[in-house]
Amino acid sequence: MKLLFLVLNRVEKLDDILTAFVNNNIKGATVIDSIGMARLLSSKYDDDEISFLSSLRVFLKPEREKSNVIFTVIQDSQLETAVSAIESVVGDLSKEDTGVVFSVPVDFAKGIM
Burial of 82 (0-12, 13-18, 19+ CB in 10 A): buried
Q: How confident is the model at residue 55 (pLDDT cuts 50, 70, 90)?
A: low
**What is the value of pTM for the model shown?**
0.79
Q: In sequence order, which ranges of the chain are alpha helices (DSSP H)? A: 14-23, 37-44, 53-56, 79-90
111: Cα within 13 Å, side-chain hemisphere = 4
Give pLDDT, residue 6: 98
- Burial of 40-71, coded b for 16+ CB within 10 Å and e otherwise, reads eebeeeeeeeeeebeebeeebeeeeeebbebb
Digit-coded pLDDT (tens) for 66-92: 899 999 999 999 999 999 999 999 999
Task: Name the β-bridge partners of 2.
Answer: 74, 105
CATH class of 2-105: alpha beta
